[in-house]
Structure 1
Amino acid sequence: MTDPELMSIGVFAKLAGLTASALRFYDDAGLLPPEQVDPITGYRLYSESQLARASQLRQLRDIGMPLPTIGKFFSAGTHEAAQLIDDQVAKVAAEAAGIQRAAATLKASLGEADRLNICTLSGPVLAAAIDQIVATTIHNPDIPVLNGVRLEANPDAISLTATDRYRLATRTLVPSQPSAASWAGTLAGDDLQTAASRLRRTPIVTLEASARSLGLRMADTTVMHCRLLAEVFPDYKLLVSSLPPVSHRVTVDKQNVLKALEQQAPERIGLRIAAGRPILLLPDCAVELGGTASGPDLTLWFELTTLYPAVSHALGKHLMLDLRGADQPATIRSADDGDFTTLVMPCLNPAY
């Protein structure tokens, strides 16, 4: 006999906030089978105790969780179930951010027939420069321009600049022909990073500026648009021009520095200049770098997250560090090729 306390699918659907067809679907999917099926009529009957599961199922579908994952959710423990929710939210957020970027790029390409042809560059070379510079950007909701890359073009060169307030990186490229016009704008770092994968596969790229975006025209004539940011980029030229004179100059082998940092990966690293020798101070040891150093004895400290990217992205085999004191920005550049330069802020001595 049918239990009189059980509800019909219609009544249960209203209480659960679902449709009868959805309940049939979830029954067939094995996620919410009815408490009982009438053997004569075949009607699905539900109990009040199933409402909690039905409510969870509806909410999981509201956040877009796939059916197979929902099945795992109902069989999981509390910790694993919470992790499944977090993973789904992260996935939806990433998809939403991608849609927003695509929509903004599409809007940037609308109604811009008048474009300024700036110059033509090697696609792979520009992609490599983007990789180096974008590493210095940061996502900061309060200062969104810190995710931007400042591109400045003049007849002789193209420069890309980014800063996260602790580093300032600049890469200069020389086009195959002089730039046709002077131009400057701050580009969305995410758009440039997305474009880099395409740039690596095109021998040449033409830069075309408009009021809302910079177009990157590939060899096959397709164009990728990088949005222009409205926020004012930090006045890095004023910062550079106001730096005190260089007091120490250090030249070292890049691989020696990277090897020491990668083997121990300390939170903070000291750089000591003693008797004309550069030495890295690590938690368990001091590493002689084997290079040269000028100036009186000096010790300064850096965060690993600030120093390592500046060193790893430097060009060439040798590094040149221009120091100005323990509390002043250090300039890191390639001794073999000076067209990539990074300013790195030191930090406090970890003993304090």
Structure 2
Amino acid sequence: MPNSELMPIGVFARRSGLTSSALRFYADSGLLPAAVVDPVTGYRYYSPAQVPRATQLRRLREIAMPLTTVETLLAAESDEASRLLDEHVTRTVEEAKAAQRTAAVIESSLAGVPSLPIAVLRGPVLADAVEQVLTATVRETGMPVLAALFLEVSQEAVTLTATDRYRLATRTLAPVEPPLHTWAAAVDGDELRTASAAIRRSGTVRIEATARGIRLRLADREDQHCRLIADEAFPDYRLVLASLGEATTRVRVSKALLLRSLEELPGERVALRVTDGAVTHLWAGDGHSGTRLPAAVTGLAFRIWFELTTLYPAVSTAIGPDVLLDLRGYDQPVTVRSADRGDLTTLIMPIRPDHLEQDDKENSA
């Protein structure tokens, strides 16, 4: 390579995003030796071909990867490099969550931190409710409340709600003891999900609120702590529920049969064709294939499309052997709930694939 193409360390630092001192350290450690070192002045020069490696090295260090792992990853084939990267990210996330939980424990144990007893619930029931409702969450940058569970306590009930603005799940629980206070806040969904295993093994759970979190006091087990999400207000889900129109078609179908049929479909999109006494499952690309299921149908014949990743969780978390689907229109929210119990309600939005012109004509007729 001609000498004219070599860059002094300052120029290479600007190209790679690394500081000159970092480049000297990586050269001395063998991770990124200079292409040429002037034997008289000791000045280091780098080639343009070294920029990708330097950039990759900078990015790996930005995510706090240890130097020994960085060295192994940079020398590895792509599959092995991906595995090492995934392992590091998983470990980093787990360590961050553990640090958050430990911080919550320390904060709640500080002298003078007040707590407010807000509710007593059955542990297994609360754990089930947490897992069911959290299916309607999503992780979105800058909007942590969409990954949270909104916990409301009144003198009659405890309500758990989650929404990602496309799905909404809410469940109402009967407390073991009448709550003495009303209270509401968004709780970190990931931390509740992690705590649910311990919650499930406790006969009763006493929930106490602090300024920044909740303390879950478990019978004969270590307390669990979850942080509050206070960055933004939780969406007004009650307004969504109140604005729902009347169902034009109502379907009662076996939960087990519906799930089994959905599991066997090859596509990522699924259509429900509702006729008198039956539901037929279709998928994009084949308008005549599917499984015919017996169902109790009232109202108009209907065809409606969903993403499988939206419909399946809503059905799988429903309580009881049968599910009830309330359909309002191909572009309106669909209610999914138990046919026997009303304490868990899930709302999901359908989709309308652009290429399904025939569906548009049928639904608008």
TM range (shorter): 0.7 to 0.9
- In structure 2, stretches of 5+ residues that fail to align are 1-21, 32-43, 45-49, 358-365
Question: What is the aligned-residue identity percentage?
Answer: 41
1:90-120, Cα deviation, whole Å (9 max, x unpaired): 2454145325523652465245643221221
1:217-250, Cα deviation, whole Å (9 max, x unpaired): 1113742221111110000101111111111110
1:102-140, Cα deviation, whole Å (9 max, x unpaired): 365246524564322122111121111111111211110
1:300: which partner in 2? Answer: 304
- Alpha-carbon spacing, 1:66–1:334, altered in 2? closer, same or farther (3 Å): farther
What secondary structure does 1:135 align onto? helix
TM-score normalised by structure 1 residue count = 0.78
1:258-308, Cα deviation, whole Å (9 max, x unpaired): 111111242111112223432222355132120111111211111111101
Trace 1:34-183 onto structure 2 (pairs within 5 A): 63-65=64-66, 67=68, 73=73, 76-77=76-77, 79-80=78-79, 82-83=81-82, 86-87=85-86, 89-91=88-90, 93-95=92-94, 97-99=96-98, 101-102=100-101, 105-106=104-105, 108-109=107-108, 110=110, 113-183=113-183
Trace 1:239-318 onto structure 2 (pairs within 5 A): 239-283=240-284, 284=286, 285-318=289-322
1:223 aligns with 2:216: no
What secondary structure does 2:136 align onto? coil
1:337 aligns with 2:341: yes
1:52-81, Cα deviation, whole Å (9 max, x unpaired): 9xx99x9888944485x678547633x246
1:351 aligns with 2:359: no
1:17: which partner in 2? Answer: 25
- Taking the aligned partners of 2:73 and 2:308, their CA distance within structure 1 comes to 39
What secondary structure does 2:274 align onto? strand
- In structure 1, stretches of 5+ residues that fail to align are 1-13, 32-47
Shift of 1:341: 0.8
> Are 1:108 and 1:227, in contact at CA under 8 Å, matched by a contact in 2?
no
TM-score normalised by structure 2 residue count = 0.75
Paired residue total: 314
- Alpha-carbon spacing, 1:288–1:172, altered in 2? closer, same or farther (3 Å): same
- Alpha-carbon spacing, 1:178–1:17, altered in 2? closer, same or farther (3 Å): same
- Taking the aligned partners of 1:238 and 1:249, their CA distance within structure 2 comes to 22
- Taking the aligned partners of 1:280 and 1:105, their CA distance within structure 2 comes to 47
Q: CA RMSD in A?
A: 3.4
- Taking the aligned partners of 2:176 and 2:92, their CA distance within structure 1 comes to 41
Shift of 1:16: 5.7
- Taking the aligned partners of 1:317 and 1:141, their CA distance within structure 2 comes to 37
Amino acid at match of 2:160: L
